[in-house]
Amino acid sequence: MANGPVIEARDLRRTYKTTTGVLRRKPLEVEAVRGISFAVEQGELFGLLGPNGAGKTTTIKMLITLLLPTSGEARVLGHDVVADAREVRKRIGYVFGGDRGLYERLSALDNLRYFAELYGVSGKAQRSRIDEVLELVGLKGREQERVAGFSRGMRQRLHIARGILHDPEVVFLDEPTIGVDPVGARELRTMISGLIAAGKTVLLTTHYMFEADALCDRIAVIAKGQIVGEGTPEALKAGVAEGRVTEIEVFGVGEAVVERLRGLAGVTAVAVEDRDQKQLLVVQTTGERELTAPLLAELDGIKVGRVTSREPTLEDAYVALVGTE
């Protein structure tokens, strides 16, 4: 066991090079991760929270050695993810969300046997270890069935079983509950908590605030490739505890109006949620003064529905940090 953080990223950057256009191709550089630094301690469940495209998966893929960083440095259990990729791979488990990542034509047992072999689980230990993980993820008795017939939740449990087959010290979970129904997602969260109870260090990426709140010891909020907030869920909530949130139902609000609202003194964040024919403006304010009247004044000429005011939630803290539009 290495001294110091189990996972450490220092000024990690990743740029993708691509092209645009069909006939006249122009090179384009996209900065997916822009100087991320964080450290995860032994036995900690650390969450990378952010919207789609924030750079969470790119960050995790650099840490699990699937992508080379453009610059910066990252270590897992003291091993450099670029120079000692194989040493890192031996010690980590990687689970991602979604339907892919399994050999569907074969059974769950076949899949686990194959990956046990790839991860160097000895032939003698395979049977007992596979039984153990099947029990842990609640797939015992279903292992002979073809994966093609599995529900999304069952696949996800199989993913977790695959990821921990070789009893890794560190587990990377990339949006493991995405697309899973609420009951299945809750079961998965229980499983993830179980990993921490078993002494693993877990790095979890998610864009579900409540999931990060329920599971993580610490959270780094990531937006547009940068960490915009880091701390315990409580500390992040405390960051917006003083403010107020005004929710305004509107019909056909434009981007220019939203920008004007953002420019109002005392407004810290504005989010627009589409709801069928209407939109919901979620306006966060400092709470130092009543802003309902100025807000409505800016919406002059736009059909306005119900207006409510409430205390901020953790989700508001997240919205304030990522500045979601």
Partner 1 sequence: MRTARLLALGWLFHFRMLSQSAFDGFLAILWPLFFATVAFFMFRSGHSVGGLAPVALGAAVMGVWTATSVSASSPLQRERRLGTLELLVAAPSNLATMLLSVCLATSTIGLYCIVATLIWARLLFGIHVPVAHPVSFVLGIVGIVVTIGSLGFLMAVAFVRSRRAWALGAVSEYPIWLVCGFLVPITLLPGWVRPISWLLGPTWGMRAIRAGAFGGDALPDVAMCLVLAAIYIGGGVLLLDTVLDSARKRATLSLT
Interface residue list for partner 1 (CB under 8 A): 16-17, 61, 64-68, 86, 89-90, 94, 96, 98, 100-106, 110, 113-115, 117-120, 123, 162
User: In this complex, which beta carbon is closest to partner 1, that of residue 87 or of residue 217?
Assistant: 87
Supply the DSSP symbol for 23.
S
As given in the structure block, the two tokens for residue 250 are 């509107």
Smaller CB separation from partner 1, 16 or 251: 16
Q: Taking the C-alpha atoms of 145, 146, 151 and 153 in order, what is their torsion angle to the nearest 10 degrees?
A: 70
Nearer to partner 1, 90 or 152 (CB): 90
Which residue, 68 or 238, is less far from partner 1 as judged by CB?
Answer: 68
Q: How far is the CB of 94 from partner 1 (least distance, A)?
A: 5
CA–CA distances in Å: residue 314 to residues 53, 97, 220, 237 = 21, 24, 14, 5
Q: Which is nearer to partner 1, 57 or 285 (CB)?
A: 57
Q: What are phi and psi of 322, to 5 degrees?
A: -85, -15
Can you state the angle between helices 152-164 and 123-137, rounded to 10 degrees?
A: 140
Q: Rounded to whole angstroms, how far apart are CA atoms 307 and 267? A: 16
Strand 278-285 to 267-275 pairing: antiparallel
DSSP assignment letter at 69:
-
Instruction: Give CA angle at 70 (23, 92), nearest 5°.
Output: 120
Query: What minimum distance in Å lies between the beta carbon of 98 and partner 1?
Result: 7
Least distance (Å) from partner 1 to the CB of residue 103? 6
| Nearer CB in complex with partner 1: 110/249 | 110
The least distance separating partner 1 from the CB of residue 159, rounded to whole angstroms, comes to: 10
Tokens of 168: 């890794």
Minimum separation from the CB atom of position 136 to partner 1 (A): 19
Least CB distance from residue 133 to partner 1, whole Å?
A: 16
Collapsed DSSP state (helix, strand, coil) of residue 109: helix
Pick 39 or 82: Cβ nearer partner 1: 82
SS3 letters across 169-185:
CEEEEECCCCCCCHHHH
Structural element, H or E, at residue 282: strand 278-285
- In angstroms, give the least distance from the CB of 245 to partner 1: 38
